[in-house]
Amino acid sequence: MIENSYVRSIRRIGHLLDWLPAPLGSILILVFAAGIALLSSRIITDALPRLPGLRRVQFIHAIIARLRAPIRNGLMIIAASAALQATVGFTDATTSFLEQVFICLFILNLGFGIIRTFRLLTDQYLTRISARDHADDITVRSHQTQIRVLRRLIEISFGVLTVASSLMVFHSVQKFGVSLFASAGAASLIVGLSARPALTNLIAGIQIAVTQPIRMEDMLILNGDWAWVEEINATYVVLRTWDRRRYIVPISYFLENPFQNWTHSSPSLIASLFLWLDYQTPVDRLREMYFEELAKCPDWDQDKTSIGCQIADSNAQVMSIRLIAGAPDANSMWDLACDIRERMLRRLRLEMPECLPRGRTAIVPGAPEQNAWPDALVAPPVNRPQDGPYRGPDMPASPPAAATPGRP
């Protein structure tokens, strides 16, 4: 009933354009119908959120804002296709072709509108789980990874099906599809070889979503750089370094190569730093000083089972003191290590400057050859005989050699 009255109204408007050429008048009728639908859609989408019962429903505002363009396009397509029945200036072939075009556009608009709705629902879910109090960070990041990766795959798959369904409206495309299906063996081989990298990354994306060797905001070590997982797409991963550089890595890389994931099971880490100090350093006093300064660090996670102060190494000049402490995440770990190093060096410089590393050099003044080791450089001093070679403090000097007869 509504459709018949709409068609009659369009025909009345068409009679007003009888003085124009028939094709041009029909085109103007379609444009007029689409314009009326566009104006109506603007009124609907602007007035609907202002209704008394819907003003405070944020989800309604969000879905109308997200679907504003599909709603407008859909109403324009429906209005133009309905007005096509009232036109008389097109041939039967042109009318049939325009009907197929409108059906194709309606399928495309409907499919991508469903994709937008699906993305809106997943975004609402991600926002809700991220806003929960006392939410487990690992659980939240696991859900984010699964939803983002699977959403990309679903959107790509549904988009391909939508485009294929819309194109199948045309008879020429249907015939091409039948011929392609008849030669599916050769076509699948060619397509498989050409799309092998993309298919490999798509399958790797499914494995990443299920097994989750990486998650959103995981901290990885790649090529010696700290990098956080910023985005996981269907075929690649975007990593953000500490200095805001971006690594674009194929998603299959994380299934084929070993890498370090510092936040896989827990975001907490242990900060470790080394101090190179002199051998005169009292380690017990140094350990007490370390515990005092650690208690003042705001980035320490207060876990006393993960702290330590030990001699880790030594060489001919200094010894290496390793200090460790727990931190809640990677950023805090770096800040904690820098904070402890600064505090300990300041305390050592003010209270025990003799513990700082130093170089030792013995300056020996020039001396005759027989007195190459003066008593001032030997502790305790020893009495060395002046005749014969020196053999140590408890060894007598060698007697002078007897003269050989017949020789001077």
In what order do the strands lie in the sheet containing 319-327?
A: 269-277, 319-327, 308-314
Owner of token pair 């030997």: 378
Report the C-alpha gap between 399 and 38 in whole angstroms: 124
Cα three-residue angle 202-204-209, rounded to 5 degrees: 100
At 380, give phi and psi (nearest 5°): -75, 160
Name residue 129's amino acid. Answer: I
Q: What is the pLDDT tens value at each position of the chain, 408 positions in all?
A: 445 555 555 555 555 555 455 555 556 666 666 666 666 666 665 655 565 555 555 666 677 777 777 877 777 777 777 666 666 556 777 777 878 888 888 888 888 888 888 888 888 888 777 776 555 567 777 777 888 888 888 888 888 888 888 888 877 776 665 555 555 555 555 555 555 666 777 778 778 877 888 888 888 988 888 899 988 887 889 999 888 899 999 888 888 888 888 888 777 889 899 999 999 899 999 999 999 999 999 989 888 888 999 999 998 889 999 999 999 888 888 899 999 999 999 999 999 888 888 877 767 665 555 555 555 544 445 454 555 544 545 555 455 544 444 444
**Contact (CB, 8 A) for 272 and 334:** no
Report the C-alpha gap between 343 and 289 in whole angstroms: 10
pTM exceeding the 0.85 threshold for the entire prediction:
no
Owner of token pair 């097994």: 211
**Contact (CB, 8 A) for 129 and 140:** yes
Cα three-residue angle 99-103-107, rounded to 5 degrees: 170
Cα three-residue angle 269-348-281, rounded to 5 degrees: 95
Of 149, 145, 341, 148, the residue nearest 261 (C-alpha): 145
